[in-house]
Every structure is written in structure tokens, then in C-alpha cells.
Amino acid sequence: MKIRKVELESVAAKPIQYPEEGLTEIALAGRSNVGKSSLINTLINRNNFARTSGQPGKTQTINFYNINGEFRIVDLPGYGYAKVSMTERQRWADMIEKYLTTRESLKEVVLLIDIRHEPGEHDKMMYDWIKSFGYKGYIIATKADKISKGQWQKHTSIIKKSLEVASTDLIIPFSAAKKLNVDKVWGTIESILELHEESIDEDDIQPEEE
């Protein structure tokens, strides 16, 4: 996909701050510091457009990135960071849940997992939620440059088994640092957008009058 324009359209802590409904939204979910911002920067080929930090739990808002005026990538707050208060963690969880359960423009939730580690309890809960709402179940296995390519299959198999993923085809090893599999991630995004466009076209077809 050719990137012509990228805009941080909204930084939201509550629904009233969300952008208007309409554009297809693809949300990125994952643990704190799993690499959501780095993924966005790599996809749009811009350094530090989406803020990255070595400090987990830095993203405390829902960030809406408008791509070419055609769709949005939505960066959700990272979950599972222990070094914040229980009250703060609950606030983040409520923020994420409110968006995921009420946003009509949301068409897919993609889960990011660090390829080096077996998914944890929070990852399993999030993936179960994603599947329960009928989403495809795509996973981007980040930081793939940290292990040898020969180990990718072993680690993706662990993710597949742990999360009960339908197929390893849904798991994409990815590295922002080495720009590995950027084309595959874009291919997935484009397939999501095309699927949604097709559903809109079908809805526009009116039955013939008898």
C-alpha cells in the first residue's frame, strides 16, 4: 500500500473523544511494550510518528491513526503491566473494553505477541475475547529478529497451541528493527479492508421489486 498521508486523528481516553464513525478501523491489542507503536511506525515508514518507549505502560490512551483518509489503525493501551496501581490497570481495562464493545467502525482486532515468549494469561483472555466476537484471530509475532529464522516455526507453534489458533497461517512473525514481513502484514490489512468493502457492496444491493 502506498502511504500518502498519515494523521494522528485522535488521542482518546473516553468515547466522546473518538473520531466520527465511518472509516474502517483495525485495532492493535497486546501487552505493554510488545511493539504496537513500532509496528505502526514500520508500516507507515516513519520514525517515531507513533511514540515508542522503553518504559512499559506508556500508552494510556486509545490512539487513532488515519491512513490516507481511507481507514484507521487504532493503538490500544498495553495490558498486563504490573508496576501500576490496580486502580490504574482497571481504568485502562475499562477504556479498552468500552471501545471494543461499542465501536461500530471496528472491523478487526489484531493481537501482538512477543514471539520469544509463550503467551501469558492476559494474552489468552484477550485472544478468547477476540474470537468470541467473531474476529478472524490474526496474530503478529513481534521481535522476530531476536531469534533465528529457523526457530520461527517452533515459536509460532507454541503460540498456536497456547492460544488455540485455528491455523499458523494466521500468525505472522514480524520485526520492526529488521523490517521483516512488512509486506505480509500489509497484505493482511488489505485483505481485511477488501472484505469489509465487499460486505458494504453486498449491503448496497437492493432486491428487485416483483
Residue 63 belongs to a domain with what CATH number?
3.40.50.300
Task: Tell me the C-alpha to C-alpha distance, in Å, between residue 30 and each of 50, 165, 210.
Answer: 15, 16, 51
- pLDDT per residue of the chain (210 residues) written in tens, 0 to 9: 889 999 999 999 899 999 999 999 999 999 988 999 999 999 999 988 986 655 554 557 899 999 999 999 999 988 865 555 666 666 767 888 899 999 999 999 999 999 999 999 999 999 999 999 899 999 999 999 999 999 999 999 999 999 999 999 999 999 999 999 999 999 999 999 997 666 555 544 454 444
Domain holding 57, by residue range, is 6-202
Q: Do residues 174 and 140 lie in contact, with contact meaning Cβ atoms separated by under 8 Å?
A: yes
Considering Cα of 34, then 115, then 131, then 195, what sign does the dihedral take? positive
Q: Is residue 1 part of a domain?
A: no
pLDDT at 137: 96
Considering Cα of 101, then 130, then 137, then 5, what sign does the dihedral take? positive
Cβ neighbour number for residue 53 with a 10 Å cutoff: 11
Q: Do residues 143 and 172 lie in contact, with contact meaning Cβ atoms separated by under 8 Å?
A: no
For the chain, how many structural domains are there in total? Answer: 1
Helix, strand or coil, per DSSP, at residue 79: strand
Q: What amino acid occupies position 116?
A: R
